[in-house]
Amino acid sequence: MIAAAAEVRTLRFYVNGRWEEAAGRSLHPIYNPATGETIAQVPYATAEDIDRVARAAHAAFLKWREVPVVERVQVFYRYKALLEKHADEVARILTTENGKTIEDARGSVRRAIQMVEVCCGMPSLIMGYSLDNVAKGIDCQTIRQPLGVCAGITPFNFPAMVPMWMYPFAIACGNSFILKPSEKAPLTPTRTAELLDEAGLPPGVYNLVQGDKATVDALIQHPLVRAISFVGSSPVAKYVYETAAAQGKRVQALGGAKNHLVVMPDANLEKSVEAIMGSAFGAAGERCLAGSVLVAVGEVAEPLLNLLLEKTRRLRVGDGLAPETEMGPLVTGDHRKRVVGYIDKGVAEGAKPLCDGRKLMDERQDGFFVGPTIFDHVRPDMTIAREEIFGPVLSVVRVKSLDEAINLVNSSRFGNTTSIFTNDGKAAREFAQRIEVGMVGVNIGVAAPMAFFPFSGWKNSFFGDLHAHGRDAISFYTEQKVVMSRWF
Ligand code: NAD
């Protein structure tokens, strides 16, 4: 269905401080996932566009790197104030194109603002260190200098927050930046770019283009682009990492996930179930930190599943903008097909659906809805236990001991996040020590590190060395130089 013509806007690129009509480029629909209506059209940038943007960004970089960091961060103080003022508006745009609940969208905008807050501290964060008299009369100091043009390629699920893992850090470090957000959710990054424009960055320091694989390839191939920050699915992360590294670029590529939530027999069931529901069904499972496999240890399985099922059946699914909604739709019809394909496969491979989200599709013809789904008696070798589904599907694997749970988690190809629910400090400590996963929660459903810590996936969930945000981001977006001096 297409919304009334006047409402279907065509997005623009933001290049060298100006909004450009992208006439003549191919146009692609953006949907409101709660209604299925087309709400906007997005043009895809060509290789010629990327060349033009990269040149403008490079020219801007040569001036921007000369601006003292104390002055550079003033833009981010203004940006923070503008984001605060428009936070609710940005969250509503986000829900309208992504589907997640408005409360969840507000939370993610808050996380985005926190990135900007951290970047306001760049004068302290970017400092080097020094030692005088390393040899007689010789002093040594390290300094950090920006790289040049940096590019960011981001996914649909956090269209405000994930881009801000990148450009505030890169720009406050003295780089210029080109953002290529998800072609499924470009409205939110467009609004946040308008606010950055209002905050008053010099032209060309921040640029926004839209597109898909061809646009990404043009960014990777462009000789003026020095560094690529990528967040998305694992196969694309690996591809971007390998191709950009082969071009001599610095790369950080964050990938997909398959996250386990381990529940011990001594866990506080009421609180654990609340956290598990938020983790598995929050944002309709479209989070890289979503709990996807519930590992029930020993005799906890029956009481845990009883309570979980009771609460899941009461979960209110609907339009994310409605205040009573607890879970929204999936982002597109194609993505819903993929998620339903996984549910079909779970049934075919012999797992037992305690609660089948496909039924909701008979009731709701509008939008891209699928209900929460729980599979019991899932074996670790089943597809639904191994692959990222990125939908509201929770697979329950029953194990006998903590040891078995740890081995199960460690056998995954992914290593983004995992949580243990227990009242036993020794079990929690052993879990945190032995688990081969980058972000670990203890009695926490979504262990998302805040802006001043790194976002630390392992294995196929991350390709590179320096992670997103935290101190890693400053290292990623700068080159280190060591200066030794002697004066006669
Ligand atoms: P995606 O991989 O389909 O797309 C991500 C970006 O890559 C988009 O900008 C897209 O245009 C581009 N892209 C897509 N295919 C490409 C190709 N073949 N070559 C080059 N570029 C390509 O991911 P998505 O569906 O937008 O987002 C969901 C995925 O992102 C999930 O796998 C999720 O786990 C992951 N994710 C990871 C993190 C993390 O921090 N590790 C955070 C958020 C999302």
Supply the pLDDT for residue 132: 98
Average pLDDT on 369-392 reads: 98
Mean per-residue pLDDT of the chain? 97
**pLDDT of the residue at 317:** 98
CB 208 within 8 A of CB 181: yes
Tokens of 16: 């060298």
Could you identify the residue written with the tokens 């011990």? Answer: 264
Does pLDDT of 322 surpass 80? yes
Ligand 1 contact, 232 CB (< 6 A): yes
**Smallest Cα–Cα separation from 294: which of 310, 312, 311, 279?**
279
How far is Cα 380 from Cα 250, in angstroms, rounded to an integer? 36
Map out the domains of the chain with their CATH numbers.
9-255+461-486 (3.40.605.10), 259-442 (3.40.309.10)
Residue 124 above 60 pLDDT?
yes
Per-residue confidence (pLDDT) for residue 23, from 0 to 100: 85
Is the pLDDT at 160 greater than 80, yes or no? yes
Confidence of residue 4 (pLDDT cuts 50, 70, 90): low
Residues of the chain with pLDDT > 90: what percent? 97
Q: Which atom of ligand 1 is nearest to the CA of 211?
A: 11
Contacts for 364 with CB less than 8 Å, ≥ 6 apart? none
Is the predicted pLDDT of residue 30 greater than 60, yes or no? Answer: yes
Sequential DSSP letters for 195-225 = HHHHHTPPTTSEEE---SHHHHHHHHH-TTE
N-term to C-term CA, the chain: 78
Mean pLDDT of 240-263: 98
Residue closest via CA to ligand 1's atom 15 equals 213
Closest CA to 419 of 301, 270, 305, 279: 279
Report the residue among 157, 331, 412, 418 best suited for mutation to probe ligand 1: largest number of ligand atoms under 8 A from its CB. 157
Query: Measured between alpha carbons, how far is 378 from 383 in angstroms, rounded to an integer?
Result: 9
State pLDDT tens for residues 43-73: 999 999 999 999 999 999 999 999 999 999 9
Strands (E), 127-264: 130-135, 138-146, 149-153, 176-180, 206-208, 225-231, 250-254, 259-263
Half-sphere exposure of 261 (CA within 13 A, CB side): 27
Give the position of tokens 């339903």: 340
The two structure tokens encoding residue 238? 């690996």
C-alpha 235 to ligand 1 mean position (Å): 9
Contact, 93 vs 188, CB < 8 A? yes
3-state secondary structure at position 341 = helix
Stretch 435-439: mean pLDDT, rounded? 98
**What was the pLDDT predicted at 22?**
87
Q: What is the mean pLDDT of residues 240-262?
A: 98
Question: Residue 182 Cα, ligand 1 centroid: separation in angstroms?
Answer: 8
pLDDT of residue 2 exceeding 80, the answer is: no
SS3 129: coil
Residue 482 has pLDDT above 90, yes or no: yes
Q: What is the mean pLDDT of residues 217-226?
A: 98
Q: Are 63 and 72 in contact (CB under 8 A)?
A: no
* Cβ-contact 217, 25 below 8 angstroms: no
- Which residue's entry shows tokens 């939370």? 107
